[in-house]
Amino acid sequence: MLKKILIIISLLMLASSVPVLAGDNEQTLPATEEETLPAPTDTPVVVEKLRIVAFGDSITQGFGATAYSVYLQQMFNANGCEVSVINEGKGSESTIDGVNRITKVLSQRRPHYILIMEGANDARIGVGAAATAANLGAMMDLAGAAGAIPIASAITPNTEGGSENRAIPEIYNPGIAAEAGNRGVIYVDNYNALAGENWGPYNFDGLHMTDAGQQVLANQFFQVLPCGGGGGSDSGGGGGGCFIATAAYGSLLEPHVVLLREFRDTFLLTNEPGKLFVSTYYAYSPPIADYIAQHEFLKVMVRILLLPLIGIAYILLHGLWYLIPFGISAVFLYALHVFSLRRRAQNI
């Protein structure tokens, strides 16, 4: 019973913090690209849609077919989601090239989510699987440090020359999955979604996707993104979006943000009220997080406001129930002490 009460208190704290952080403006939520939020100065701050960047090589770019980012955008539009999908695919790119390019993309696009699907060219030219996985891990770290939420993909199949490159599913992809798992990043198994008897109609040259294959990729990513099928919290890792906390602390990998994500996965996504809250939070918090990220004093204020929630999350996750009676007793004794001092002052 006490556990349920603490979870309810946490939900109320999170819910009540949203209008405070956004300002007392009834037009703040929901926001579109044309709306603005009042800034501390007279300069308006433009609120954009949830931004998702598709980052990768020629497969992401859409060589020979319609890029999966186009189909993904259509899926969000059909679902009534305020989302902008941006294609940042680059032909012939290796993972080390991706490491060198991703910082600029993150700076220019400022995505809330970045879908990282690279390594096909590494496997073709014989770059070591360990190096490929490490490069993709570095991309995930750079994304997290920039306040974006990375989603990692398996390398897709390769049957160039008539034979399948078995190193992809047996060596490369397990390493990528491990890098994602070590960071709590969502891992999307696009290899197994495309491989097998369906691979024929999904590709036209053994490597690049047909429109049908690109649609499979779009659906795979859609299932793990907010406003999609999975809310951004499943499929191999809890890398979903604590947008406001990430904006306040400056990194997805900051320990307090990691703690809040663990609290979300353990206590909120395991029940219907919690899932509803998380879904609503994902829908409305990105523009607020953008606003917070642009103002240092708001970052400090939000970190202070989040401290009680972080404390509750820590207690729930670490089973420190014995601290709760002591905490309640301390508050009661302090209140009694203050009341006693006031009574004495009145009697003097």
Domain extent listing, the chain = 50-222
Tokens of residue 110, six digits:
């400022």
Whole-number Å distance between alpha carbons of 101 and 104: 6
Q: Under a CB-based contact definition with an 8 Å cutoff, are residues 136 and 130 in contact?
A: no
Burial class (CB in 10 A: 0-12, 13-18, 19+), 342: exposed
pLDDT at 214: 97
Domain 50-222, CATH number (from 1.10.10.10, 3.40.50.2300, 3.40.50.1110, 3.90.120.10): 3.40.50.1110
Whole-number Å distance between alpha carbons of 155 and 135: 13
Per-residue pLDDT band for 118 (boundaries 50, 70, 90) equals very high
Closest CA to 282 of 326, 240, 343, 224: 240
Q: Under a CB-based contact definition with an 8 Å cutoff, are residues 198 and 163 in contact?
A: no
pLDDT at 9: 52
Could you tell me which residues come within 8 angstroms of residue 335 by beta carbon, excluding any fewer than 6 positions away?
Answer: none
Mean pLDDT (the chain, rounded) = 82
How far, in Å, are 73, 140, 224, 297 from residue 147 at the CA level?
Answer: 22, 11, 18, 18
β 45-46/36-37 pair status: antiparallel
β 36-37/186-188 pair status: unpaired
Least confident of 230-239, 249-258, 308-317, 318-327: 230-239
The answer, as to whether pTM is greater than 0.75, is: no
Question: Which DSSP symbol is given to 64?
Answer: T
Q: Under a CB-based contact definition with an 8 Å cutoff, are residues 29 and 22 in contact?
A: yes
Average pLDDT over residues 130-152: 94
pLDDT at 80: 86
How far, in Å, are 91, 259, 270, 315, 330 from residue 6 at the CA level?
Answer: 51, 16, 15, 10, 18
Per-residue pLDDT band for 239 (boundaries 50, 70, 90) equals very low
Could you tell me which residues come within 8 angstroms of residue 275 by beta carbon, excluding any fewer than 6 positions away?
Answer: 231, 268, 269
Whole-number Å distance between alpha carbons of 22 and 218: 32
CA torsion, points 23, 148, 232, 207, in degrees to nearest 10? 150
Per-residue pLDDT band for 244 (boundaries 50, 70, 90) equals confident
Tokens of residue 176, six digits:
């990528």
pLDDT at 327: 64
Cα angle, residue 254 at apex, residues 309 and 276 outer, rounded to 5°: 45
In angstroms, the first-to-last Cα distance of the chain is 45
Per-residue pLDDT band for 20 (boundaries 50, 70, 90) equals very low
- Which contiguous run of DSSP H or E holds residue 185? none
